[in-house]
Chain A
Amino acid sequence: MNSAYQGGWKRFTVLVRREFWEHRSLLWLPVAVCVLHFILALALVLVPRNGMNLQVEVRSEQLTVADSLGGTPGTQVESTSLNWNRMSTASLLDLAAATPPEERGGLLDRLLLGHAHLLAAVGSFLVMGLFSVMLNRERENRSSLFFLSMPLNPWTYLGGKMATGALALVLLWGTVVISQTLGLLVISATAWAHGHAAVDLVWGPSHVFRLWALLGAQLLVDTLWALPLFGSIALMASLGWSGRGGRFGVLLMGAVVATVVDRLYLTGGGLWLWMTRHLPPPGINWEDRGLDALRAAQGKAPALGEGADLVLGMVLGLLLLVAAARALHWREET
């Protein structure tokens, strides 16, 4: 008998290590996302801009904050609007510094988090997409026969892949959190160098731990978003559309599915808001100022469609995965 064999957890760790040996990208992807995020976050905050989109977005947040503070929305919006227009060619740092303290809290972290959201979504989609590659590559180079000759329960094998995905997400989260924090530190230093009150401007009254927790929740929900895409790719791979002649089909179908998913999810327009309402990090007081005030203002009951979109997408993704497994089985048997 194998004296080193310990089964259970030890076997599981070997299965996870095996995935990382095969998919080096699981390691460099989070680092790449982290570096990209750090650079873009700095650019967003430090580089002067006059982008209309950003201005509109900020204005819209101000509107909500103003509303939550109990002011007269019309008056607040007008003054805020003038305020932002006046600062439209400044960097976000300057914009934040020019914002009254009671409206300032959470502004930067909200902007940074919103910015991280895009990269985190891309990252989580990529992680999920890698699963189809995992299965597909084995089939292509026949190494599946080697792995299938090992005494492993299929569920253990699949569990290893799922655990790898979860670990990859944690890595992604960890690196983005690090880059986020580094970004905030650099911004703080810059603010301090320009004579601003860095702690007040960047760190307070929001809490950096809350950003981390929200980012983790974001990654989780984004991964669920990726389920339909992953399911469709797995289905196409199992139907044999992954051959040389079928790659175009995969891309085409990917675009079609992405469009459908986009229509399905994004017309609700509120998954991010849905998440901020439903996935509060434990121990966070939602009635604080700044970002919390913003959330409190939005704290009305979520529209049914927003939550249903996510559930519908998950169900669709799981159905596609089941169909992929069935199709694979059918092809092998026939």
Chain B
Amino acid sequence: MTKKSVTKFLKKNYEGWLFNLPLAIGLLLFTAIPVGTSLYYSFFETDGFTYTFVGLDNYIKIFTRDRSIWQVVKNTLAFAMISIPLNLSLSYLLAQLVNQTRKGVKTFRLLYYLPVIIPLVVGGLLWKDLYDPTYGIFNRILELIGLDPFPFFFQASTSMFSIILMNVWGIGGGMILWLAAFKNIPKTMYESANLDGANAFQRFWHITIPLSTPMIFFNVVTSIIGTLQYNGTLTFAPREGRGVDDSLYMYAVKIYWEAFHRGQIGYGSALAWLLLIVCAIITILLFKKSKWVFYGEDI
């Protein structure tokens, strides 16, 4: 490039780049360099001070020598595969219930949304207390009506059930999304379906579901990626977030544990990079396979 064309390029484009400069600097310093460094660390055995090159050994270790990894993967997948569809369908039912113009419905919607507003760490504090084996109110109530105490988080076999139940508490978030999806469906569609004699299930299956697919799709993608990175168990699960017998040990907590507790920076980075690859594959697959998503005429 000659000097002249450089000045010409700058003259034409400097304003855009100037306004964009914060992003360019920020992406470089706080995203690109860390992502690269993370990949670099993953090939070393390191505590951040001394580095020993081990090649792909950290990645091989994940699949062959890590004793807790399969439990962690199993927990994370079970949590995602039960919790996401369960909350999606329950919040649909809830949205249907409050999708009407009766008096006071708005207040009920607000009440249902309250648990979503409560900060994660307060939710953890709260549920840890509710589920406590001796002082928790749930077990006190069970005791009052003459039932045996339920161990909740304090037994491996009931932990997953307990966390899924706890997660249902936040269905108000899904409810809001469903309500918005309903709002975008023209009323005339239901009216003409009624004239044709469609029953409630047919209206649900042939109108509500197809026209809500952008919302369902978005919700599923963000929920899957969110669940893979879920670290909320740190706030309430026994054994510093890992649960009894690792029964609540989730992938993101595993990364935290390896890198920050045990100082295995290299191994933690390898786990994080594996997560990055999985998230990328899921995103690409879902967007490629998203032909069933119906965007209507506006897109």
**Does B bind A?**
no
Interface residues of B (CB under 8 A from A): none
